[in-house]
Amino acid sequence: MRVKRYALFALLSALLAAWGLSPFFPPPPWPWALVLAGGLGAVLGLRAMNRSLLSAITEPEEVPERVYVRRRLEQGPKVVAFGGGSGLSRVLKGLKEHTANLTALVAVTDDGGSTGRLRLTFGIPAVGDLVDCLAALSDHPSLPELMAYRFDRGELKGHTFGNLFLVTLNEVAEGFALAIREANAILNLRGQVLPATPEAVRLRALLQDGREVLGEVALREARGRVKEVFLHPEPKEVMPEALEAVRRARLLVLGPGSLYTSVIPSFLPLREALAKAPGRLVYIVNIMTEPGETDGMSAYDHYKAVSHHLGRRPEVVLVHTGPIPEAVLKRYAQEGQHPVAYDPAPFRADRVEVVEGDFLEEGGLAQHDPAKLVRALLDLV
């Protein structure tokens, strides 16, 4: 296989496109020539890498097994997962082992770091969480590392290859919806990854003390109790594939992830579709609170916030009730994070089904284990 060669070619092509977009390059037409050439090279390089990886399956005895696995996954349940950040990508990694009928609907309101810089420069939705989910659904073991590669010097310092890849596709495809469709096709995913909206919206939050803030970074820095969040401006476009996936899904999964900056923004553009969707709606509560966002909020508070913003109550709530090692608790407490308090009484009063269990992953972090989560989710189908 020539995987590394093709990956290097794609990386260099993306760098060429980024160079053409640099304000320090000579005036047009040369910059756009570089953008187009680099973008095309990145697409062709990833396509070639994809074909090379697939061609590795050459042993005849492996073919029946591969065909069986593919058919089994194609017969799996239709699942739509909402969110962003590491929480959503971890759920996707578990679900893709059981179904190929999987859609990730990703929040696009992040305005910090590399993603924030790129959306400000190019006027596009946030790409960082989309990149993470694309990598999570790929069958290629080298893709997550390639997508996560972060440049450490020059004008590209702080940017990842994955972010630049999507930006380049956006420039070449003349539109973000077309770019994300092309990314799905190039990477040969188990399922599909779509933005909650292809528009460059931001998060607007109204706090309980009356303050109003614009942007995710500003919300975390405000450190106030959130009353309600909105998208600004109100999005007018949702991808048809997203609406169709919601309509046909047997299971609609919200979270885990940051309540106000990942989970809720991921479903706001699709509230009407979700209200009519026949699939079972499941909300996965975070294990720990998040500083400046959910300080002091209980599991029931999380559930109420989701229900309020969605206009529909989740039928099932998954809550981690297992032990958390003392060393982990102390480390998180230093960052202002504490276990999300859980009391079953208010859920019983609302006649909400709660799935309790030990969903913690081993390894020293307070995060969900994908395999444990997926077992619980598939039991609900």
Q: How far is CA 103 from CA 20, 85, 108, 260, 377, in A?
A: 34, 15, 15, 21, 15
Specify which of 6-10, 68-72, 90-94 reaches the highest per-range mean pLDDT.
90-94
Tokens of 135: 């990598």
DSSP 71-103: HHHHTSPPEEEEE-HHHHHHHHHHHTTT-S-EE
Taking the CB of residue 66, how many other CB atoms lie within 10 A of it? 12
pLDDT value for 9: 64
State the Cα–Cα distance between residues 14 and 165, nearest whole angstrom.
Answer: 6
Tokens of 45: 């390089």
pLDDT tens digits for range 212-227: 999 999 999 998 999 9
Taking the CB of residue 63, how many other CB atoms lie within 10 A of it? 11
pLDDT value for 156: 84
pLDDT surpasses 70 at 26: no
pLDDT value for 37: 60
What average pLDDT does this structure show over 296-307? 98
Domain 72-200+235-378 has CATH 3.40.50.10680: yes
pLDDT surpasses 80 at 326: yes
pLDDT tens digits for range 227-264: 999 999 999 999 999 999 999 999 999 999 999 999 99
State the Cα–Cα distance between residues 79 and 103, nearest whole angstrom.
Answer: 6
In the block, which residue shows the tokens 């160079």? 19
pLDDT value for 58: 47
pLDDT value for 341: 98
Tokens of 65: 């097994």
Among 67-76, 80-89, 99-108, 298-307, which is the least confidently predicted range? 67-76
Cis previous bond, 233, omega within 30 = yes
Contact between 373 and 92 under an 8 Å Cβ cutoff? The reply is no
12 three-state secondary structure: helix
Rounded to two decimals, what is the model's pTM?
A: 0.85
